[in-house]
């Protein structure tokens, strides 16, 4: 009996290990390989030059894919002419006077430290000599600037762990469409199309997308499902869950209106290897063009089941 249990444990460990993607440093050579897979042109050619700001600072968990993702998003704009990009780690990029210069802001795995889960406060404490009260006041101002930017018509693309950025802020959760709860261990995840005929999932040609990822689960504003779902997973097929899940179909990518602005949340991917698939590259580009405002499509919430 003990031998059987040990054998099962070893098999499970081998399966888990095989589902891990090995980390590697970003290189121009890798990006050149990805660029060859990227779309030759955008789905919609913008009527004017679009400007995008990528904020990719983290104070909590360090996703090794951050530099890869920032450069992929930048490359997609350059190759297709869909947008121009600047990348920053400066938290003062959330000053209202700066945000007004951009059509879209990208938050790239901007994970904050727990249990407070407030990246803006974390960064201000690291970068400035402000006292505690000054940090609280400025952090609240910068977060409000970000939310106001979207409400007034700005675009927001939230990538993977960026949903954790202001995880205890309900205004942030309402804007993004949810907050991070937890994720089972990294594993092979099959993502189904929530609406196979929706134009923003055209990249997948009606087929599921399977890759190795952290299967994120969400709470807070997610419970309202005030968004248009794009990709979903069946949690009955996940291993390593630590909580019971009532609704087995969970969404991992969606679009939504927030005021006059547009939000695109995309959980895939935790690993740069996922970008070695032309489908995910097109999905990222199409979603970015939606958030910018060039790709018009139905973003009304689906009726709750």
Flag whether pLDDT at 8 surpasses 50: no
Q: Is residue 303 part of a domain?
A: no
- How many domains does the structure of the chain reveal? 1
In a domain, 134, yes or no: yes
What is the rounded distance in angstroms from the CA atom of residue 264 to the CA atom of residue 176?
A: 8
Q: Is the pLDDT of residue 6 over 50?
A: no
The answer to whether the beta carbons of residues 158 and 107 sit under 8 Å apart is yes
Does 17 reside within a domain? no
Output the pLDDT for position 244. Answer: 86
In a domain, residue 9? The reply is no
| CATH number of the domain where residue 247 is located | 3.40.50.880
CB 90 within 8 A of CB 148: no
What's the whole-number average pLDDT of the chain? Answer: 93
Q: pLDDT tens-digit profile of 60-111?
A: 999 999 999 999 999 999 999 999 999 999 999 999 999 999 999 999 999 9
The answer, yes or no, to whether residue 285 has pLDDT greater than 90, is yes
- Say how many CA atoms lie within 13 Å of 188 toward its Cβ: 8
The residue segments making up the domain with residue 239 are 30-292
Residue 190 belongs to some domain of the structure:
yes
Q: What is the pLDDT of residue 248?
A: 94
- Give the mean model confidence (pLDDT) for residues 114-137: 96
For residue 45, being part of any structural domain is answered with yes
Closest CA to 233 of 260, 265, 211: 211
Q: Flag whether pLDDT at 48 surpasses 80.
A: yes
Query: What is the 3-state secondary structure of the chain?
Result: CHHHHHHHHHHHHHHHHHCCCCCCCCCHHHHHHHHHHCCCCCCCCCCCCCEEEEECCCCCCCCCCHHHHHHHHHHHHHHHCCCEEEEECCHHHHCHHHHCCCCEEEEECCCCCCCCCCHHHHHHHHHCCCCHHHHHHHHHHHHHHHHHHHHCCCEEEEEHHHHHCCCCCHHHHHHHCCEEEECCCCEEEEEEECCCCCHHHHHHCCCCEEEEECCCEEEHHHHHCCCEEEEEEEHHHCCCCCCCCCCCEEEEEEEEEECCEEEEEECCCCCHHHHHCHHHHHHHHHHHHHHHCCCCCCCCCCCCC
Query: Could you tell me the two tokens for 58?
Result: 């983290």
Burial of 79 (C-beta count, 10 Å sphere; 0-12/13-18/19+): middle
For residue 300, tell me if it sits in a domain.
no
Give pLDDT, residue 36.
Answer: 98
| pLDDT tens-digit series, residues 163-178 | 999 999 999 999 999 9
Whether residue 183 lies inside any domain: the answer is: yes
């Amino acid at each position: 009996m003990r031998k059987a249990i040990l054998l099962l444990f070893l098999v499970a460990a081998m399966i888990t290990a095989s589902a891990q993607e090995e980390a590697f440093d970003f290189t121009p050579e890798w990006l050149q390989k990805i660029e060859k897979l990227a779309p030759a042109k955008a789905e919609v050619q913008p009527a004017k030059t679009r400007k995008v700001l990528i904020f990719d600072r983290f104070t909590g968990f360090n996703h090794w894919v951050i530099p890869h993702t920032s450069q992929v998003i930048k490359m997609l704009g350059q190759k297709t002419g869909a947008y121009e990009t600047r990348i920053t780690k400066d938290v003062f990029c959330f000053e209202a006077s700066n945000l007004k210069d951009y059509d879209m802001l990208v938050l790239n795995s901007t994970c904050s430290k727990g249990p407070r889960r407030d990246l803006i406060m974390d960064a201000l404490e690291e970068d400035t000599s402000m006292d505690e009260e000054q940090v609280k006041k400025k952090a609240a101002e910068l977060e409000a600037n970000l939310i106001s930017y979207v409400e007034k018509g700005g675009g927001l693309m939230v990538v993977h762990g960026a949903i954790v950025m202001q995880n205890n802020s309900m205004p942030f959760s309402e804007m993004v469409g949810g907050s991070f709860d937890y994720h089972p261990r990294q594993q092979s995840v099959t993502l189904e199309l929530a609406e196979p005929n929706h134009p923003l999932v055209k990249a997948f040609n009606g087929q599921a997308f399977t890759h190795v990822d952290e299967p994120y689960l969400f709470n807070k504003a997610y419970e309202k499902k005030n968004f248009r779902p794009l990709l979903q997973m069946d949690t009955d097929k996940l291993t390593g869950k630590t909580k019971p899940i009532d609704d087995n179909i969970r969404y991992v990518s969606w679009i939504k209106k927030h005021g006059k602005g547009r939000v695109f949340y995309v959980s895939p991917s935790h690993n740069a290897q996922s970008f070695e698939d032309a489908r995910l590259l097109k999905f990222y580009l199409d979603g970015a063009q939606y958030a910018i405002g060039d790709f018009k499509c139905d973003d009304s919430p689906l009726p709750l089941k």
